[in-house]
Every structure is written in structure tokens, then in C-alpha cells.
Amino acid sequence: MKRIISLLLVAVMAVTSLGVSVYAAEANYDDLVAPCYTNIDSVSAGLSEGVLGFVTCTSNFISFDDTKTFVLTCYLQRTDGSSGWVNYKSKSETYSGMGSYTIEKSWFAPSGYAYRTYTKLQVKNSAGTVVETATKASAVYYNW
Amino acid sequence: MNDYNEKVIKNVLDMKRAEEDAEFLKEIQEAKNNPAFKKKKNETKLFIKEVSKSKNHRPMLRAASIVLVVVASLAIVTVSVEGFGEKITSFFSNFVSSDYAAVDVDEEDNLFSEYKGMYVPTFIPEGYKVESVVNGEDIFELILKNNKKCMVIIREQSLDLKSNIDTEDADAVKEIEINGMNGLYVKKGQTERVVLVSDATMLYITDNDSNVDLIGFAELIEKR
């Protein structure tokens, strides 16, 4: 019994003296934190530069609510810098039930503006009433 | 007269004893010659083996002591060092968990073989099947569903895709590291989310099935 206890103490001292290192994540996740959603898991917006002046807009949402209807609208917004963002192009789809839904659309983006994708999601109940709205803007693409 | 009687009795008893001794010796001699009592060849070996069995307890006690020391050490370090317990449980969950034993992606005719360079799961949780695959400009997404209205979504997205993820009033939010990528784990009600970020990409995994160990599942995701 004494031998077991002494072995135990030696093992604990050996393991703790090795200095178990625990990672420390230092990434910034402020961009991911959102207001509290009721029916939505996440909303996303993306804009990527294509060729010959085209840009590709991506809007996505995820929901685990199987009882709602969702209206997802993907806007290509632009600004000339002197005024606010203006809806330039848009595409809208309606979905029912849980899932991950994506609109991806390419549009021609004339120079002289800054562009961004703006995602708007409306959640409707069985009566057709909008019960929740969520939005998200992408990073800005400057095409002056 | 009494002395004479005593001597007669003693002589009779001695003669009787001698007869009995002679009979006993005769029985011993007969037993020696009886084949039923002859020592068989391997009897000695069997006897030694039976005796030596009792000596094997000592190595077993030694092994039990070592196991006890290791388990106790792990328990003490797990309790005292933050984050160590999670590493241990995720290590063992890879071998013990049966949730991911249903479909080995490599055995199923290379289920995701066409998606080279993408993050794909190496196992699919039991009861789930691939519902859809989205391979877009900024998104590569796999949706797994079962027949109980549960879903697991694995999405690899470029860092150009900005996301709002519901973390407010969550039951648990903690920073994690999986396969060299730092990230967040969020649990809110029935749903869990794992977000992992590297220099070029973000991996977003979410589900609404409490039977799925999402962190364990995330650790089994590999880049093809």
C-alpha cells in the first residue's frame, strides 16, 4: 500500500512538472457575434470580384426551424461615396423548412462605385406574418 | 501372579501389533506394485503447474498498481489543468464513440472523392445521409440529414463571406483549437456551433442533434 501511494505521488509530480501547455486562442471573433436570433442559426453575405467587371454576390442563411417560411433577398448595393448605399441589383427566393439556403448571383459592376452584398432574411409564420428579420452586409469592393 | 499376567498380556499385544505391522507392510508393497497407483509421467509437471499458478498473482498486482497510478494521475491533472480534460475526452471519443462508426467515407466508394482540396467529414454520424452539396464561389457546404428532422451542416467559406452567428444568451461559449485551427464552440439550446478559422478559410459546423458530439465530429473533418 505504501509502495502504491509513493508511486502515485511520483507519477503526479512527474506529470505536473512536465508543464502541460494549454493553448490560448487569440483570434478575434467580433465579426461573428450577432444579435439574438429566434428562428435563425446564421446569416451570411459575401462579394467576390470576377472577371471583366463582374462580381459574384453570395447570400446564405441556416435555420433549424421546420415550421417557418423564409424570404431571402440578395442585394448588390453600391455607393458613389457621396450618398448612402443604394440597391443596384437584387434576387429573391422563398424557402420552407429547415436547411441551409444560398443565393449566388453574378452581376456586372460598372466602375466609379463601391459595392457590397447586402443579405436580408425575413422569417414568416404559417399566417404569413413576418416574425423576424435579419440582415448582413459583406465587405466592400471598391471599383472607383 | 499379577506380574506374570501383565507379561502375558503384553506379549499377546506385542504379537498382535507385529501381525498388524506385517499386514500393513504387505499392503504397502502391494500398492507399490499396483499399476493404478503408479505415478504417471506428466503428473509431476501438472502438480508443479498448479502450484506455480498461485505465484502468478504477484505480476497481476503489479499491473493493477500501475494502472491505478496512471488513472489517478490523469484524474488529478484533468481536474487541475484547464483544457486538459477536453483533450483527453476528445482523444478517447475518437475510439469509443459509436456515433461515427456507421459510414466510413473512404469505404463508401470515396463519397467525397470529387471534392479535392475541400474540408469533408471522414465519418458520417449514424442515421445520417448526405442531403445536398453546395459548391459555390465563396461556399463549399455539405448538409447531412436524418429521418428525425436533425441536420448537420459543414461549411467551408472564404474569409470574404461575412457571417452573423447567434451567440447571444448561449448556454456555453468557449474558445477551442481543432487540428491546428483556432475557433469558437457555441451551444444554445439544442443547437451547437463550431467555428474554426485559418489564414485563408473559415470552417463552420452546426447541428441541432444533441446525440452528435460536434467537437468530436469536427476533429474528424479533413481536407481532401
What's the CATH number of domain B104-223, 3.30.200.100, 3.40.640.10, 1.10.10.10, 3.30.300.130?
3.30.200.100
By mean pLDDT, which of B60-69, B203-212, B213-222 is the weakest?
Answer: B60-69
**Highest mean pLDDT (candidates A83-87, B32-36, B138-142):** A83-87
Inter-chain CB proximity A16 and B204 less than 8 Å: no
Inter-chain CB proximity A37 and B184 less than 8 Å: no
The CATH superfamily assigned to A37-143 is Immunoglobulins (2.60.40.10)
pLDDT tens, B81-127?
655 655 555 455 444 443 443 455 554 456 677 777 888 888 888 89
Inter-chain CB proximity A3 and B183 less than 8 Å: no
Q: What is the mean pLDDT of residues A91-115?
A: 95
User: Measured in Å, how far apart are chain B's first and last C-alpha atoms?
Assistant: 120
Is residue B17 pLDDT above 60, yes or no? yes
* pTM as predicted: 0.63
Is residue A7 pLDDT above 80, yes or no? no
Structural contact between residues B46 and B39, judged by C-beta atoms closer than 8 angstroms:
no
Is residue A46 pLDDT above 80, yes or no? yes
Q: What is the mean pLDDT of residues A42-53?
A: 93
% of chain A at pLDDT higher than 90: 68
Is residue A19 pLDDT above 50, yes or no? no
* pLDDT on residue A65: 93
Query: Over the range B201-224, which residues count as b (16 or more CB within 10 Å of their CB) and which as e?
Result: bbbbbbbbbeebbbbbbbbbbeee
In this structure, what are the phi and psi dihedrals at residue A6, rounded to the nearest 5 degrees?
-65, -40
Mutation target to probe the A interface, by most A beta carbons within 10 A, among B81, B157, B163 is: B163
Q: What is the mean pLDDT of residues A11-35?
A: 53
Q: What is the mean pLDDT of residues B173-202?
A: 90
% of chain A at pLDDT higher than 70: 83
* pLDDT on residue A31: 56
* pLDDT on residue A21: 39
How many angstroms from the chain centroid is the CA of residue A90?
Answer: 19
Domain boundaries defined on chain A: 37-143
pLDDT tens, A111-124?
999 999 999 999 99
* pLDDT on residue A15: 59
Inter-chain CB proximity B161 and A32 less than 8 Å: no
Of A29, A56, A58, the CB nearest to B184: A29
* pLDDT on residue B88: 59
In this structure, what are the phi and psi dihedrals at residue A23, rounded to the nearest 5 degrees?
-60, 160
Domain boundaries defined on chain B: 104-223
Locate the chain B residue with the closest alpha carbon to A14: B73
Q: Tell me how far apart the alpha carbons of residues A15 and B70 are, in angstroms, rounded to a whole number.
A: 10
Mutation target to probe the A interface, by most A beta carbons within 10 A, among B68, B87, B138 is: B138
Chain B residues with CB under 8 Å of A3 CB are 65
Chain A residues with CB under 8 Å of B134 CB are 100, 102
CA distance A78 to chain B (A): 17
pLDDT tens, B56-84?
556 777 878 888 888 888 777 766 665 56
Chain B residues with CB under 8 Å of A99 CB are 131, 143, 151
Locate the chain A residue with the closest alpha carbon to B163: A44
CA distance B94 to chain A (A): 20
Closest CA to B165 of B147, B181, B184, B180: B184
Q: For chain A, what is the mean pLDDT?
A: 86
Of B138, B158, B167, the CB nearest to A34: B167
By mean pLDDT, which of A19-33, A126-140, B24-38, B65-79 is the weakest?
Answer: A19-33
Q: For chain B, what is the mean pLDDT?
A: 79
